[in-house]
Amino acid sequence: MRIHHSYSDPPQTPYAPTWDLQIGYSSIPLRIERLVSICLDKEKEILKLPPAVDFDNKPTDGQTGLGLNSTTSRFSRYNVFDWDTTETNLLKKYVRKNIEQYNKDNGNKTPQYLWVRCWVNIMRFGQKIKKHTHNSDSDCYLSSHFTVQCSNTATCYINPMNMQMIEEENKVGQISIFPSYIPHYTTRHLSFKPRITIAMDILTDNRNLLVTKPFQNFVRL
């Protein structure tokens, strides 16, 4: 796994902030053509579901700007890992494996049990994902996305400490893993072939969390 580190400068005072933000990248060997077909075949079925709602119980697209008529806006209503296909089952295994490697490379242990919410982003010509974060609460852990189909787009990550931008070209078959509080967005999609990514939020097996937060369509990872 390739890890991009964003380091702070050496502190000059006891109160100067320090940080080391890590974004991990790795390739996953899947039958991409089959995964493209699965995602596009599921699109109409997903759009029949109601959009997710925010904390005010209002429909939301997760602040992505993709609108309420998108698969993204149903992110809490389904889970890609419930589809029970060869490709999505393999992807789930590789996601777990890559999270373990990401943690190992960063000197952290991976909890025995993790929960994952997984949805598909399908973007058409002219669309882009606006800057947003997935979770900045005290229980936040990791987020990830896997590129299924793309054409000359990139994902941009923002270091929230110094606002430095880290741009990574999207590559088919590549997974990225990053802390859930990192703001990110995409460049505009300018191809008539849909841009397809599979996004994920991962949480730890925190018993208090299970009680206090609605675990809508999370599955064990």
Domain boundaries, the chain: 21-220
Q: Could you report the per-residue pLDDT of 179-205, keeping only the tens digit for each?
A: 999 999 999 999 999 999 999 999 997
Q: For residue 217, what pLDDT band results from cuts at 50, 70 and 90?
A: confident
Least trusted range by pLDDT, from 5-19, 81-95, 98-112, 142-156: 5-19
**Structure token pair of residue 187:** 């460049």
List of residues 6+ apart from 70 with CB closer than 8 A? 61, 64, 121, 122
Q: For residue 55, what pLDDT band results from cuts at 50, 70 and 90?
A: confident
In whole angstroms, what is the distance from residue 119 CA to residue 101 CA? Answer: 22
Model pLDDT, residue 215: 63
Asked if 142 contacts 177 with a C-beta cutoff of 8 angstroms, the reply is yes
In whole angstroms, what is the distance from residue 179 CA to residue 202 CA? Answer: 10
In whole angstroms, what is the distance from residue 34 CA to residue 21 CA? Answer: 34
Asked if 221 contacts 92 with a C-beta cutoff of 8 angstroms, the reply is yes
Name the CATH architecture for the domain at 21-220. Sandwich (2.60)
How much is the average pLDDT of 94-110?
97
Model pLDDT, residue 42: 98
User: Which of 167, 216, 185 shows the shortest CA–CA distance to 53?
Assistant: 216
* pTM recorded for the entire structure: 0.93
How much is the average pLDDT of 106-126?
95
